[in-house]
Structure 1
Amino acid sequence: MTYAEEILHLMREDEAVREVLASTGELFHGYHPQMEKVHLRNAQRLQELIEKNGFPTIPLVGEEACTAALRIILHAISWPEFMRAQEPALTDLAKAGQVPKSYVAFLIDRIRFYEGRKQIYGTNADWDENGILRVTEVEDEKNLNSRRAEMGLSPLDTLVITPMDGDYHPPDPAKRHKEYIEWTHKTGWRKS
């Protein structure tokens, strides 16, 4: 199996498990242990592959496998050290045009989101106290769309993603938020 093929295989497994859990509704009630297991196993394997072969850039493995690798990194949410360790190298690779800039924006924001800091590009959303899905706090909201454009992201017209009459909403938003904060401490995203 080539480097690219192995990365794509890992991502297909992620998608298959996600699809099953979504079809039963289990995906929408906290971080499902089965999904977490797949995410961690994939991230560990990707780390081994990166150490052996270098980062799977577009010139090395093609755009599809590169994007799959970036998605594996973004899904490794219960392994903060791994995600944080990828940011500097990926920022440099994006500047060199070897990985899509948009995924670097996703990574930077995801790290900040889990750490409880304001996002730079507004790529992460969460349920508010009223059960409405909205982009969480962003730095310098006035210039958000220009920063998004620099990273190849489309403009945001509104920070509200899903009004109350939309898709799944947590039955108890306050309870869900409390569980989320506990999870960020348990996994090491937040210290206090």
Structure 2
Amino acid sequence: MDYKSFAEQIIHLKNADLEFRNQLIQKGQLGEGYNVEMEVLHNKNAKILNEIIDTIGYPTIDKVGKEAHEAAWLIIQHSIGRPSFMKKCAELLKNIGAEYKEDKVHLAYLTDRIAVLEGKPQLYGTQFDWNDMKELTPNAFDDLVKVNKRRESIGLNTLEEQTQLIRNRVKNENQKPPKDLDQRKKDMDEWRKRVGWIE
């Protein structure tokens, strides 16, 4: 099996994703809801990666190398319009035993993203959104002490430290909160129903 060509393909998909994200940041459009062109790109990348996974299994470091392994995870994290694909990847990550530290962190982020999209509390506090004070804040979680213990168990910093890092990054990228938070939430709920995250 020619894993190298699969690795190159996965890295190419990730680069296209990040390039488009940077364009949205430059235009100040990243926080205004799910950009239609970005959704198309994410769905296309998910479809291609799903075909690769069906051929070679989950793209582990042993198969495709560290860069493509990280790239695959980013594509999976961004495939929010494909609930069944995200859940399939979460199961695959669980089944390979999260053998590397990176895999444990990847699984934590993916588990949280799925929970948030389904309207459930997250376990590790990895997912953030704008609040009424126009600050990025962690999405709903069960208990701060438990969240920080879970984070520590996989080598992550505290949720308080992560919140500050996220807010600093967003400030450095000059990201702005949505102009109308209520409308954005309504649009997001409609989108989640349309793609199958909630009923």
* TM-score over 0.5 for the pair: yes
State the partner residue of 2:29: 26
State the partner residue of 2:72: 69
Show CA shifts across 1:139-163 (max 9, x none): 2321211101222322122657549
State the partner residue of 2:122: 119
Is 2:196 the partner of 1:188?
yes
- 8 Å contact kept, 2:122–2:142: yes
Q: CA deviation at 1:99?
A: 5.3
Deviates more, 1:150-159 or 1:169-178: 150-159
Normalising by structure 2, we get a TM-score of 0.87
- 8 Å contact kept, 1:66–1:99: no
**Unaligned regions of 5+ residues in structure 1, if any?**
none
- 8 Å contact kept, 1:58–1:98: no
State the partner residue of 2:5: 2
State the partner residue of 1:176: 184
Q: 1:173 and 1:118 mapped to 2: Cα distance? A: 20
State, as a whole percentage, how many aligned pairs show the same letter. 37
State the partner residue of 2:94: 91
State the partner residue of 1:108: 111
State the partner residue of 1:58: 61
- 8 Å contact kept, 2:122–2:141: yes
- 8 Å contact kept, 1:46–1:69: yes
Q: Write the letter of the residue equivalent to 2:183.
A: K
State the partner residue of 2:83: 80
Q: Write the letter of the residue equivalent to 2:129.
A: D
Q: Write the letter of the residue equivalent to 1:8.
A: I
**SS in structure 1 opposite 2:129?**
strand
Normalising by structure 1, we get a TM-score of 0.90
Q: 1:95 and 1:63 mapped to 2: Cα distance? A: 14
Deviates more, 1:55-64 or 1:127-136: 127-136
State the partner residue of 1:36: 39
Is 2:20 the partner of 1:12?
no
Q: 2:22 and 2:131 mapped to 1: Cα distance? A: 25
**SS in structure 2 opposite 1:131?**
coil
Q: CA deviation at 1:29?
A: 1.4
**SS in structure 1 opposite 2:30?**
helix
**Unaligned regions of 5+ residues in structure 2, if any?**
none
Q: Looking at both structures, which has the greater relative contact order when contacts are Cα pairs under 8 Å and sequence separation is at least 6?
A: 2
Please tell me the root mean square deviation across aligned C-alpha atoms, in Å.
Answer: 2.1
**SS in structure 2 opposite 1:103?**
helix
Q: Write the letter of the residue equivalent to 1:175.
A: Q
